[in-house]
Structure 1
Amino acid sequence: MDTEAQHTERDRSSGPADGPEEGSRSTHVRDRQAGPVSWGRTVFLGMLCTVALLLFSAFVLQPFLIPSGSMQPTLRVGDRVLVNKLAYRFGSEPRRGDVVVFDGTGSFLQEEPEENAVGALLRGAVASLGLTEPAGSDFVKRVVGVGGDRVVCCDQRGRLRVNGAAVDETYLHPGDRPSDVAFDIVVPDDRLWMMGDHRSNSRDSRDHLGQPGGGMVPVERVIGRVDWLGWPLGRLGSLEGTDAFTGIRPPDAHHG
């Protein structure tokens, strides 16, 4: 009887001792297995989010880093703006006063900048997130004339005139005149006349008058309209519009 009791006590005491040890081992095994799975899932989700963000940037809303002061004071160097790529996708066209981003190949640039294909792809991906300067062929300017408009500078009072009407350009950089270069042009159909707000520090349509295309930007080359400021936080919000072109008569109604 005593022997049986001793065996019984040993069995009871050894059971719990073995239990936690086995449980601890199985827990460690599960932890080791869960680590790689969690890491792989994190990488996959990160890649998925990046692809989704790039697609959103390519077709809907693209951050754009302002690389120069040609649009001051409206846009400053280092600003991150949000370009609405749907603004002109459903029959709408750029209007006078819109601030737009466009591909200047064939108008501001006669040839595309040479760049390594892989480097261009990587740069384009990073630029599409607003993390670096845009491609050398991308520009941001204000639409001053649309197809059929006659744009003249300057009248006797030093003002820009569109279709015979003087334009009060309150958005110009303080101290700048509408233009130091005289011009009198008619914008062809489906083309745009572009100018920066900092006229004394902007290379725009005026600088390409004698070149093929005459500095006129094809509407199809417009990437989108600048609708919002995303950075710095102190300037966060929608881009203020202008009523400078309100009341401009249609192109076919102007007088020489």
Structure 2
Amino acid sequence: MTDEQHNGPDGDGTPGRTRGRKPPRGDAPRSFWKELPILIGIALVLALLIKTFLVQAFSIPSASMQNTLTIGDRVLVDKLTPWFGSEPDRGEVIVFHDPDQWLAGEPTPDQNGLQTFLSWIGLMPSADEKDLIKRVIGVGGDTVECNKTGPLKVNGVALDEPYVYAGNTPCSADDQGGQFKVKVPDGFLWVMGDHRQNSADSRYNQADKYSGMVPVKEVVGRAVVVAWPIGHWSTLPVPDTFDQPGLKDRAAAAALTVAPQGLALAGVVPVVWWRRRKGPAVTR
């Protein structure tokens, strides 16, 4: 018998109640104000991970992709798919880093401290990012050409382009880039804006070091959804024109694209659900 026990009422030595010990208690709940910095830290880390590896939002600053995208639209860009070795395919709308001074002379907007912080965590696009958004027309090995006002041809196949801005012709009837015939090297892309008469795209940058081509390594990701404003919400699928017979078969590349996108979506959903349970959502 320990010194914390005493004989029962009959003095038979059976243990009775204990003395000197407090009844067990659960851990006291942590104060909300103590948890708040932890929740904010977790939210920021998740926001940075999502921005870096999964999905990032970009703002459309110009009319070069009208009417598919208008000034002020926010698009969500799939950044996960390239990690699985998939390359952009014809018809996709992509975001890419400025290959060689395409944006030279464009003004850089000033940002205050709050805007800079929001850019860092992914809630706003960074003023320092020199990125462009265009549609992929030709991929490595393709021959892309246009005479007079069109139609635009890829590997000799004329494209029916319903996404071209109303009133525009597929090509410009000028000799400063509107008339061209190019062979796209492997590892490069030929890109054009949907607003053909208002887009300084591959056609008008043929004097740069890549002859107007965009290196695949400079691609940030594929724009998949117009997320804002709500009235403009839509997906950005590949138009049927790029499925025409005669275009080089890239079914293998397309297959690589579909599966990782599904994985990206499957990965984002539980993360968002967990964050909604754990703390305020932070997205970009």
**1:98 to 2:92 alignment:** yes
- CA 1:65–1:194 in structure 2 vs 1: closer, same or farther (change >3 Å)? same
- CA 1:104–1:238 in structure 2 vs 1: closer, same or farther (change >3 Å)? same
- Give 1 or 2: higher helix fraction: 1
| TM superposition score normalised by structure 1 | 0.73
Give the Cα–Cα distance (whole angstroms) in 2 for the partners of residues 169 and 183 of structure 1.
18
Report the residue type matching 1:232 in the other structure.
P
The residue number in structure 2 matching 1:151 is 144
The residue number in structure 2 matching 1:250 is 248
Secondary structure in structure 2 of the residue aligned to 1:245: helix
**Percent same amino acid at aligned positions?**
42
Q: After alignment, is 98-107 or 167-176 more displaced?
A: 98-107
Is the contact between residue 101 and residue 225 of structure 1 (CA under 8 Å) also seen in structure 2? yes
The residue number in structure 2 matching 1:62 is 56
Deviation at 1:68, TM superposition (A): 1.1
| TM superposition score normalised by structure 2 | 0.66
Give the Cα–Cα distance (whole angstroms) in 2 for the partners of residues 163 and 128 of structure 1.
43
**1:212 to 2:209 alignment:** yes
Deviation at 1:69, TM superposition (A): 1.2
Give the Cα–Cα distance (whole angstroms) in 2 for the partners of residues 151 and 108 of structure 1.
20
- CA 1:127–1:44 in structure 2 vs 1: closer, same or farther (change >3 Å)? closer
The residue number in structure 2 matching 1:227 is 224
Is the contact between residue 67 and residue 133 of structure 1 (CA under 8 Å) also seen in structure 2? no
Is the contact between residue 64 and residue 130 of structure 1 (CA under 8 Å) also seen in structure 2? no
Which residue, out of 135, 139, 154, partners 1:162? Answer: 154
Give the Cα–Cα distance (whole angstroms) in 2 for the partners of residues 190 and 125 of structure 1.
34
Deviation at 1:152, TM superposition (A): 0.4
Deviation at 1:151, TM superposition (A): 0.5
Q: After alignment, is 101-110 or 45-54 more displaced?
A: 101-110
Is the contact between residue 107 and residue 215 of structure 1 (CA under 8 Å) also seen in structure 2? no
Secondary structure in structure 1 of the residue aligned to 2:150: coil
Deviation at 1:241, TM superposition (A): 2.9
What is the count of residue pairs matched by the alignment?
A: 213
Is the contact between residue 172 and residue 199 of structure 1 (CA under 8 Å) also seen in structure 2? yes
The residue number in structure 2 matching 1:23 is none
Give the Cα–Cα distance (whole angstroms) in 1 for the partners of residues 239 and 218 of structure 2.
23
The residue number in structure 2 matching 1:49 is 43
Give the Cα–Cα distance (whole angstroms) in 1 for the partners of residues 151 and 127 of structure 2.
32
Q: Deviations over 1:153-187 (max 9, x none)?
A: 126x7200110110111100000111211111111
Secondary structure in structure 2 of the residue aligned to 1:223: strand
Which residue, out of 239, 246, 253, partners 2:236? Answer: 239
Give the Cα–Cα distance (whole angstroms) in 2 for the partners of residues 68 and 133 of structure 1.
16
Deviation at 1:136, TM superposition (A): 4.6
Q: Which has the larger Rg?
A: 1
Q: CA RMSD in A?
A: 3.1
Give the Cα–Cα distance (whole angstroms) in 1 for the partners of residues 76 and 40 of structure 2.
23
Is the contact between residue 229 and residue 235 of structure 1 (CA under 8 Å) also seen in structure 2? yes
Give the Cα–Cα distance (whole angstroms) in 2 for the partners of residues 250 and 86 of structure 1.
25
Question: Structure 1 stretches of 5 or more lacking a match?
Answer: 1-33, 252-256
- CA 1:66–1:134 in structure 2 vs 1: closer, same or farther (change >3 Å)? farther
Question: Structure 2 stretches of 5 or more lacking a match?
Answer: 1-28, 173-177, 250-284
Secondary structure in structure 2 of the residue aligned to 1:57: helix
Secondary structure in structure 2 of the residue aligned to 1:48: helix
Which residue, out of 80, 85, 94, partners 1:86? Answer: 80
The residue number in structure 2 matching 1:177 is 169
The residue number in structure 2 matching 1:191 is 188
The residue number in structure 2 matching 1:139 is 132
Report the residue type matching 1:47 in the other structure.
G
Q: After alignment, is 213-222 or 100-109 more displaced?
A: 100-109
